[in-house]
Amino acid sequence: MKSCILVINCGSSSLKFALIDPVSQQEVLSGLAEKLGMAGSQITFKHGPTPRRSFRQPGEKDVSPLEGGNHAAAMDAIIARLKDEDLLDSVKAVGHRVVHGGEVFKSTVVIDDSVLAEIEKCSKLAPLHNPANLLGIRTAMQQFADLPQVAVFDTSFHQTMPEHAYLYAVPMSLYREHGVRRYGFHGTSYRYITSKAAELLGKPLEETAFVCAHLGNGASATAIKGGKSVDTTMGLTPLEGSVMGTRSGDIDPGIIGYLGSELNLSVAGVMDVLNKKSGLLGLSELSSDCRELQEAASAGNEAAKLALDIFSYRLAKHIAALTVGLGRLDALLLTGGIGENSAYVRANVINRLGFLGLKLDDDANAACTRGKVGRITTEESLPALVISTDEEMMIAMDTAKLAGLAA
């Protein structure tokens, strides 16, 4: 029997899971419970081994309504399925994604009561995410009471940033007393792709200097030197930085006060506009989805084209700015649904960065979609690499290590 890790990524209304064999690095079974706590909740199972992102492509999935419709019911359904397939005994540890670890968690940890209490304290920094992550942990602790449970934080990778990168120019008391600083996110993804890129380039990770962009519905970019984050675009929350699907990214903070008085909106009302109605969706007045905007742009929709141009220009600007923290650049790494699939956005970004030594290879760029990885710049150019991220695999590998399983 294999020794597997059950990876849980619990959101407020969804629960993603993956059963991973850390030795062969294969996904055995994965799934997604959706609309938890709402009408119409359902659970989807998919058999591996498959690359993570193909879960989102049409393929062999089996979907059924989820009776009970809450997180505990989702976990029950996962356990029942594991039992049915004779896989339950293969689960040797559970790894959890936790969004915010504040300044306390600088690496992955085995969960105990004090860790739970600290994650709870970090909830004020991520009120939409951490309570859901805790719910997933508590449910799994009940159902898998005898197994080690491990927490992997999105923020911990960025704890290596120097003060000059993570502090905002606001009164220091706000940092000391309220934790107001840049934390950064997507850390698990960055950790995964930088080690893959070092392998691909045949260089020790310690000797690399990368700017990496994780471009999904949320989008960020990070400067990583010797495998350590030295600067990143996201901040106290995942609202700062690049343009995203529905999030504005950087704006003049003065806009918040201005909109409050112009539109008589509360702070919560303004935040709702910036988090849910802005970004690609707000600019295009059409969709937050890059693929849909590309289709609309090629059919002549000017607003869709402008939204993608603003997305790409802002990202190129951030990539260039992040090189300041590195002092040099060995390669640009692109990942996430947009980074892995959108030749259009990649061209739009890289063609603005010729002065950094990046020159796109149009054919290689066009060929790099749907899980294909590789170099999309010419031989004489600095490398830009497309790398498929796999946060679940990273969580499984961390969990296997901390649970003392061979990986």
Active-site annotation holds for 113: no
Nearer to ligand ADP, 123 or 294 (CB): 294
What string of DSSP letters covers 129-196? THHHHHHHHHHHHHHTTTS-EEEEESSGGGGG--HHHH--SS-HHHHHHH--S-----HHHHHHHHHH
Q: Contact region for ligand ADP (CB under 6 A) — 13-21, 92-100, 122-130, 215-223?
A: 215-223
DSSP 60: S
**Beta strands 384-386 and 15-21: pairing type?**
unpaired
Angle CA 61–63–131, to nearest 5: 105
**Under rule CB under 6 A, residue 208 binds ligand ADP:** no
The Cβ of residue 121 has, within 10 Å, a number of other Cβ atoms equal to: 14
In angstroms, what is the minimal distance from the CB of 374 to ligand ADP?
A: 16
Q: Are 194 and 205 in contact, with CB atoms under 8 Å apart? A: yes
Q: What's the gap between Cα 330 and its chain centre?
A: 23
What are the structure tokens assigned to 24, written together?
Answer: 């062969």
**Annotated active-site residue in 21, 154, 231, 330:** 154
Least CB distance to ligand ADP at residue 55 (A): 9
Q: Is 282 in the site for ligand ADP (CB under 6 A)?
A: no
The nearer residue to ligand ADP, 208 or 312, going by C-beta atoms, is 312
Q: Applying CB under 6 A, does 54 fall inside the site for ligand ADP?
A: no
Q: Does 309 bind ligand ADP (CB under 6 A)?
A: no
| 58 contacts ligand ADP (rule: CB under 6 A) | no
* Binding residue for ligand ADP, selected from 31, 216, 241, 325, defined by CB under 6 A: 216
Asked if 249 is part of the footprint of ligand ADP (rule: CB under 6 A), the reply reads no
Q: Does 12 bind ligand ADP (CB under 6 A)?
A: no
Beta bridge pairs of residue 21: 26
- Residue pair 358/332 in contact (Cβ under 8 Å)? The answer is yes
When CB distances to ligand ADP are compared, the closest residue is: 337
Which of 342, 381, 388, 399: binder of ligand ADP (CB under 6 A)?
342
- In 3D, which of 250, 222, 206 has the Cα closest to residue 155? 222
CA 41 to CA 39: how far, in whole Å? Answer: 6
**Can residue 372 be called a binding residue for ligand ADP (CB under 6 A)?**
no
Give me the least distance between CB of 214 and ligand ADP, in Å please: 8
Q: Is 250 in the site for ligand ADP (CB under 6 A)?
A: no
Q: Which whole-number Å values give the CA distances from 197 to 24, 140, 350, 359, in the listed order?
A: 20, 33, 18, 18
| Closest listed residue to residue 103, CA positions, set 155, 26, 30 | 155
20 in Cβ contact with 82 (< 8 Å):
no
Shorter beta-carbon distance to ligand ADP: residue 78 or 290: 290
Is 218 annotated to bind ligand?
A: yes
Q: Which of 12, 14, 217, 378 binds ligand ADP (CB under 6 A)?
A: 217
Contact status: 328 vs ligand ADP (CB under 6 A)? no
Q: Spell out the alpha helix ranges (H) of 242-379.
A: 254-263, 267-276, 279-284, 290-298, 302-326, 336-341, 343-350, 362-367
Residue from 69, 102, 184, 218 touching ligand ADP (CB under 6 A): that is: 218
Sign of CA dihedral 191, 193, 196, 198: negative
- Secondary structure of residue 141 in the 3-state scheme: helix
Is the CA virtual torsion 339, 343, 349, 351 positive or negative?
Answer: positive
Contact between 109 and 398 under an 8 Å Cβ cutoff? The reply is: no
Using the minimum distance from each CB to ligand ADP, give the nearer residue, 181 or 318.
318
Known binding residue 214? Answer is yes
Is 184 known to sit in a ligand binding site? no
Sign of CA dihedral 332, 333, 334, 340: positive
What is d(CA 185, CA 346) in angstroms, rounded to the nearest whole number? 21
Residue 9 counted as an annotated binding residue: yes
Residues in the chain: 407
Among 198, 213, 338, 387, binds ligand ADP (CB under 6 A): 338
Is 346 annotated as ligand-binding?
Answer: no
Is 291 a binder of ligand ADP (CB under 6 A)? yes
* Minimum CB–partner distance for residue 342 and ligand ADP (Å): 4
Q: Which of 278, 294, 377, 381 binds ligand ADP (CB under 6 A)?
A: 294
Is residue 296 a contact point for ligand ADP (CB under 6 A)?
Answer: no
Task: Give the residue, chosen from 250, 289, 309, 361, that forms a contact with ligand ADP under the rule CB under 6 A.
Answer: 289
Tell me whether residue 136 is annotated as binding: no
Known binding positions for ATP:
16, 214-218, 289-291, 337-341
- Residues at the binding site are 9, 16, 97, 214-218, 289-291, 337-341, 391
Give the footprint of ligand ADP on this chain (CB under 6 A). 56, 216-218, 245, 289-291, 294, 336-338, 341-342, 369
* Residues labelled as active-site residues: 154
